[in-house]
Structures are given as structure tokens and as C-alpha cells.
Amino acid sequence: MNLLVTGGAGFIGSAFIRYVLSTRAGTRVVNLDALTYAGNLENLAAIDGHKDYRFVRGEITDQPLVESLLADERIDAVVHFAAESHVDRSILSSKPFFDTNVLGTLALLDAARKTKLARFVHVSTDEVYGDIDAPHEADEGFPLRASSPYSASKAASDLTALSYVRTFGLNLSVTRASNNYGPYQFPEKLIPLMISNALTGKPLPIYGDGQQIRDWLYVDDHCRGIWAVLERGAAGEVYNIGGNCSLPNLDVVRRILTFTGASESLLTPVADRPGHDRRYALTSGKMERDLHWSPLMDFETGLRLTIDWYRANSEWTQRVQSGAYRDYYEQNYGSR
Ligand code: NAD
Ligand code: TYD
């Protein structure tokens, strides 16, 4: 099978490419990535020079480029990760989120339609469901109530993708995963930011009361789930992929303090995120029933593995935290 992976130099896309090339012999991967601040070819150093891998630097909004890749590389399936992915950045500046997440997805869908692509997996997020009151959990039929510009752009892309199934008969499935964590995650999201700051003795900024709840999914479990959907998912279906691990943020951060040995005094309450979703919760019953997938990693082991990785790869972190990262940090946290 020939796969086009978009956003394969990012956190989850690179984990997916490493997973595919190490477990699925006979699959060739073409990685289309614009290398934004979040894209990093170092994440793929392990497969550099692999005979079944090709990297193409380019924008998903560039439909002629996508069409020529689909045709020239005889692509059988697209797995679409490329996105602007961070809520706080979408609050600072929304437009890139709609350019990439909505118009970029549209360009891919049109290219897929024109070239009669056989299969498409659109990777999305549980954030499209918005706040969920306890004890409820969102299933795939739950209404979309996106709260942030990020989640609104993902909800728009989900609906557009699904419209191409109904209108044009595209063989496409949508995945909606909960919060991922693991090695190579850009240190702007909660877990890698807190690990990186704890390891270097910097303050750990807790938004509001720290009691917001997220469900945590180890990135390799997510990759296995996406593969299952690619192989066995049905057209027009949405699949929630969760980690069965709901925790308040402060609990997660306290575990990071314990496992890194950093001091409690680093905990620093800061002004809350505007429009902050209080609780995400989803059920992945459909993945379990229909595709026989369930998450395998327990949170303590996954978190320890992740901390070990950041400890062993401090140079990777230092490199991604140079220049533009400092400007972002000042913009997001400076006045909080
Ligand atoms: P990331 O920010 O780490 O990586 C995004 C990648 O997309 C980068 O390599 C970037 O260079 C590339 N990219 C951005 N704009 C592009 C464009 N216009 N053209 C080509 N490439 C472009 O993101 P991630 O955390 O790996 O998330 C991947 C996908 O999974 C996203 O669609 C996201 O919405 C979804 N998702 C993420 C999480 C999470 O917790 N991180 C959870 C559920 C779903
Ligand atoms: P984040 O990793 O940005 O993911 P999400 O897309 O779910 O918002 O944030 C996870 C949670 O952690 C969310 O409730 C916001 C909170 N948070 C902090 O308290 N401090 C921080 O510095 C960051 C980045 C996040």
C-alpha cells in the first residue's frame, strides 16, 4: 500500500510514520509537511534513508501539488494529520487555523475526489464536542459544540470531510482522539511543557484552578487506532479514540513533579485561558466493538516513559525552544 501522510513531521504524524515503517512491511509512506514551527524532521531521524519513505516539503493548501503526489506516487490512502493544533495559539491568532485546518483539508478532499483516491482517514479531536458535564461521555453522535477557534476549525473540517462521503462517495472515515502525550511532543501542550519546565526548574503555569479534566491517550495507542480505522473503518463513520484516563490537570502536573523530583514550589497559578473547556470526556466503545481496539498503555508507565525521553533528549527540547518559541512563550504567558 502507498500512503500519503500529511503533517508527518509533527508529534502524532511522526509517531504514526515510525509505527507504520516498523510494523507494516510493504507499506510505502510519502510524508507531505510544510515544516511549520511544529514540524521537525529530527522526529523522523530513526527512519532517515528508509527505502519505503519519502519526504516532500509542501503545503496541504497547494492542491496541484497534492494532486500530482496522489497520481505520481500512486497513493492508495491519505492519512491526514497536518493541522495547526494548539488552542492557545488559536486564541492569539485564529486565521492560520482556518487556512490549514479548513481550507487545507478542503484542498486534500478535492484532490482526493479528482484522482479517485481509494481511502482517506481524517484525523480529528474530541475537542469538537466541547465541554461535557459529568458524568456524561461523548459518543460519536454527540453534538459538535466547539469552544475555541482551534476546535471550531477542526469541527468545520470534520463536517466538510463527511460531506464528501455523502456528496461525492469518498471512502473516508474521521477519528476523534483525546489529548495525546508521549515523546517528541512540542513543548507548548500541557504534559511536555510541564516536563520541560520541571526538568529545568522553571515555573509550571496552571491555568485557573487546575481542575479542568482531560482524557490522556498515549501516542502509540492512538497510532494503532488510526491504523485500525484505515484498514477496517467504514466510510462515513466517525471513531472516538480515548485513553480511558480522565484526570484533572493539577493531578497530572503533580505526578510530573513527583516523577521528575521537582519542587512543588514551581506550581504557579496564572490567569485562566479564555473560553477554557472544563471537561472533555469520550467513550471509545465503537472502536472496541467494531474494530477490536483498546488503549494498552497505563498512564503512570506512559508518563514515566515520556519523562525519561525528555530527560534523555534535552538537546531536542533546547533546539525547538529557540527563537520563535521564546516569542510565543512571552506572548502567551508574559501577561498572565
Ligand atoms: P503538531 O502541531 O505536532 O504537528 C502538525 C504538523 O502539521 C507539523 O509537522 C506541521 O509542520 C504540519 N503542518 C501544519 N500546517 C501545515 C500545512 N498547511 N501544510 C502541511 N503541513 C502542515 O500536531 P499533532 O499534535 O501531531 O496533531 C496532529 C493531528 O492530530 C492534528 O490534526 C490534530 O488536530 C489531531 N489531534 C491532536 C491531538 C493532540 O493531543 N495533540 C489530539 C487529538 C487530535
Ligand atoms: P493543552 O495541552 O493545551 O490541550 P487542550 O487542547 O486540551 O487544551 O492543555 C491541556 C490542559 O492543560 C487544558 O485544560 C489547559 C491546561 N494548561 C495549563 O493549565 N497550563 C498550560 O501552560 C497549558 C499549556 C495548558
Query: Where do the domains of the chain lie, and which CATH numbers do they carry?
Result: 2-333 (3.40.50.720)
Give pLDDT tens digits for 61-86.
999 999 999 999 999 999 999 999 99
CA distance 13 to 23: 15
Is ligand 2 within 6 A of the CB of residue 214?
yes
3-state DSSP assignment of residue 117: coil
- Does this model's pTM top 0.75? yes
Run of H or E including 319 = helix 314-320
Run of H or E including 238 = strand 238-241
Give the ligand whose atoms come closest to the C-alpha of residue 251: 2
Atom of ligand 2 nearest to the CA of 214: 7
CA distance 221 to 228: 11
Question: Annotated active-site positions, please?
Answer: 126-127, 150
Is ligand 2 within 6 A of the CB of residue 207?
yes
87 CA from centroid of ligand 1 (Å): 12
In this structure, the residue with its CA closest to atom 14 of ligand 2 is 212
Q: Taking the C-alpha atoms of 179, 185, 190 and 195 in order, what is their torsion angle to the nearest 10 degrees?
A: 130
Give pLDDT tens digits for 206-255.
999 999 999 999 999 999 999 999 999 999 999 999 999 999 999 999 99
Give pLDDT tens digits for 12-35.
999 999 999 999 999 999 999 999
